[in-house]
Amino acid sequence: MQAILNIKISDINDELLDVVKELLLRNIEIVIRKENIALEEYDKNIPLENVIKDFKDAGYSQDFIKDLQEGFETSTVYLKK
């Protein structure tokens, strides 16, 4: 028997480790795959704060988030009107 787990970095916690431990105790082969983030079409109605929160929730590092936010804030996409 095999279990396939599609996870995000932010999903890794004690609860997930308990699931993995239980599966191993039952001699179940475990395949762990990193969940892909689907690219979405740009929607100018989504506030920048929501976009940044989504990246934080997906488990990206603080350095990446900082660079991303600075990039958005200086881009023509999120220029203040």
Residues 6+ apart with CB under 8 A from 23: 3, 30
Looking at residue 38, its pLDDT comes to 66
Domain assignments of the chain as residue spans, ordered by start: 1-36, 39-81
Q: What is the pLDDT of residues 2-50, one digit of tens each?
A: 999 888 888 889 999 999 999 999 999 999 988 776 656 666 778 888 8
Judge whether 77 and 43 are in contact, CB under 8 Å: no
Long-range contacts of 50-58 (CB under 8 A, 24+ apart): 57/10, 58/8, 58/9, 58/10
pTM for the structure as a whole: 0.45
